[in-house]
């Protein structure tokens, strides 16, 4: 789930950068890209993934 959110944030950052939309400092394309990288790192670390591994005997 976090990887999908990261992909959406990367796409929004790309659109802001490609269309040269002027935004305030909080919603700049660099900040949105960094949020996407944060979500991608959390996904790789296993946080936010929907796969649950539980062992039952």
CA distances, 49 to each of 1, 8, 19, 26, 33 (Å): 6, 16, 32, 27, 20
Place of tokens 């990288």: 37
Which of 27, 31, 35 is closest to 6 using CA atoms? 35
The predicted model scores a pTM of 0.67
Model pLDDT for residues 14-53, shown as the tens digit of each residue: 888 888 777 777 778 788 888 888 888 888 888 766 666 6
């Amino acid at each position: 789930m976090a990887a999908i959110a990261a992909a959406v944030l990367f796409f929004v950052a790309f659109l802001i950068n490609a269309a040269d939309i002027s935004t305030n400092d909080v919603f700049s394309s660099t900040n949105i890209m960094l949020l996407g990288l944060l979500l991608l790192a959390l996904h790789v670390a296993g946080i936010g993934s929907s796969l649950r591994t539980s062992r039952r005997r």
